[in-house]
């Protein structure tokens, strides 16, 4: 009986560890005095049909005064010229 309980516990633990993790954009908020800064972690190599928007991101962008983004250039020659 003890062995059976251990087996059931191990199976339940295994199922818990294999449960899918909710995928959502990484969004951090930094707040000090009268300023709030949001840092948004992105993944650049997503398929074009990936739905990466999240309601939390939309709420963070709505009242923002400015948006600073990183642009990537797929042309290695252009990128090399920027480094020089």
Domain count, the chain: 1
pLDDT at position 45 is: 65
> Does some domain include residue 57?
yes
pLDDT at position 8 is: 84
pTM for this model (two decimals): 0.49
> Does some domain include residue 7?
no
pLDDT at position 83 is: 66
> Does some domain include residue 2?
no
Measured distance CA(32)–CA(39) in Å, rounded: 14
> Does some domain include residue 76?
yes
Which residue segment(s) compose the domain that 57 sits in? 24-83
Q: What is the mean pLDDT of residues 21-43?
A: 80
pLDDT at position 48 is: 75
> Does some domain include residue 64?
yes
Categorize the per-residue pLDDT at 23 as very low, low, confident or very high, splitting at 50, 70 and 90.
Answer: low
pLDDT value at 69 more than 80: no
Is-contact 27 38, C-beta < 8 A? yes
> Does some domain include residue 70?
yes
């Amino acid at each position: 009986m003890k062995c059976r309980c251990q087996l059931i516990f191990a199976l339940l633990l295994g199922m818990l560890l294999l449960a899918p993790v909710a995928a959502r954009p990484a969004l951090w908020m930094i707040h000090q005095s009268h300023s709030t800064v949001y840092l948004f972690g992105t993944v650049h190599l997503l398929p074009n049909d990936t739905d990466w928007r999240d309601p939390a991101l939309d709420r963070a962008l709505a009242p923002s005064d400015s948006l600073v983004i990183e642009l990537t250039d797929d042309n290695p020659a252009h990128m090399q010229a920027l480094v020089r």
